[in-house]
């Protein structure tokens, strides 16, 4: 019988040790289920492994914080699944309303959709409802975004360095709008997400 390499033995024993689950690892952002916006059942679509996170805005019309976000979500789904696009579901995985409420979009394990030339396979798509060339992120929305990005990096084992915006992948769009993009361009978002991830170890 071959001698077991000590390093391999140590690794084997380490793997058998229970991994403690800490409360700080839990999600900090509550995501409202699809039932909250009366989503229709999706059609089947191809699965993927998440490797990066990409931030969008809806574009087009602005959405005031007092508007009915659930109705807007439903309208996007109807348009997406109808003859205009014939997609299998709403195109984004997670959506953020102007009042900071976060909603579940399509199943995160299915590939998202895009009108532009990049391939969204492997991308977790987060989109703000409304138009952030005309609207502005307030402190609360910035907090929600960085908390959500932290949660998703931890949950799906994605490095914060793999967080970017739609326009970083496509020259055909200014998405996610000038205001949201300015916080990525300055480096604030990635830095803040890294800080929040480090907090869980303290
Ligand atoms: Zn986009």
Per-residue pLDDT band for 184 (boundaries 50, 70, 90) equals very high
Distance 10 CA to ligand 1 centre (A): 47
Distance 127 CA to ligand 1 centre (A): 7
Predicted local distance difference test score (pLDDT) of residue 198:
93
Q: Who wins on pLDDT, 134 or 200?
A: 134
Distance 175 CA to ligand 1 centre (A): 5
How does the average pLDDT of the chain come out, rounded? 90
* Minimum mean pLDDT range among 13-17, 62-66, 95-99, 166-170: 13-17
Distance 44 CA to ligand 1 centre (A): 22
Domains of the chain: 27-201 (3.40.80.10)
DSSP E strand boundaries for 30-161: 31-32, 52-57, 94-96, 102-104, 123-128
Distance 200 CA to ligand 1 centre (A): 30
| Listed residue (157, 158, 166) closest to 184, CA to CA | 166
Distance 107 CA to ligand 1 centre (A): 18
Mean pLDDT of 126-140: 97
Contact assessment for residue 124 and residue 53, using Cβ atoms and an 8 Å cutoff: yes
Predicted local distance difference test score (pLDDT) of residue 27:
82
Mean pLDDT of 163-180: 96
Distance 62 CA to ligand 1 centre (A): 15
Distance 52 CA to ligand 1 centre (A): 14
Which protein residues have their CB within 5 A of the ion that is ligand 1? Answer: 56, 166, 175
* pLDDT > 90: percent of the chain: 83
- Dihedral over Cα of 145, 146, 148, 149: its sign: positive
Consecutive H or E run containing 198? helix 188-199
Predicted local distance difference test score (pLDDT) of residue 21:
41
Is the model's pLDDT at 18 over the cut of 90?
no
Task: Record the pTM.
Answer: 0.86
Is the model's pLDDT at 160 over the cut of 60?
yes
Retrieve residue 184's tokens. 């990525």
Distance 55 CA to ligand 1 centre (A): 7
Is the model's pLDDT at 90 over the cut of 50?
yes
- Dihedral over Cα of 92, 97, 98, 100: its sign: negative
Predicted local distance difference test score (pLDDT) of residue 115:
87
């Amino acid at each position: 019988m071959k001698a077991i390499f000590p390093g391999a033995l140590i690794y084997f024993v380490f793997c058998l040790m229970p991994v403690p689950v800490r409360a700080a690892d839990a999600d900090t952002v509550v995501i409202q289920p699809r039932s909250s916006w009366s989503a229709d059942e999706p059609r089947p679509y191809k699965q993927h492994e998440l490797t990066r996170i990409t931030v969008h805005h809806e574009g087009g019309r602005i959405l005031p914080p007092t508007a009915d976000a659930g109705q807007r979500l439903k309208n996007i789904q109807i348009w997406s699944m109808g003859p205009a696009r014939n997609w299998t579901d709403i195109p984004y995985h997670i959506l953020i309303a102007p009042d900071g409420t976060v909603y579940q979009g399509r199943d995160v394990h299915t590939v998202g959709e895009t009108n532009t030339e990049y391939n969204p396979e492997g991308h977790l798509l987060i989109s703000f409802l409304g138009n952030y060339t005309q609207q502005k992120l307030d402190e609360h929305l910035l907090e929600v975004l960085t908390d959500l990005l932290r949660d998703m990096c931890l949950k799906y084992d994605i490095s914060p360095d793999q967080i970017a915006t739609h326009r970083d992948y496509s020259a055909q769009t200014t998405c996610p709008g000038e205001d949201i993009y300015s916080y990525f361009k300055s480096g604030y978002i990635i830095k803040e997400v890294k800080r929040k991830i480090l907090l869980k170890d303290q």
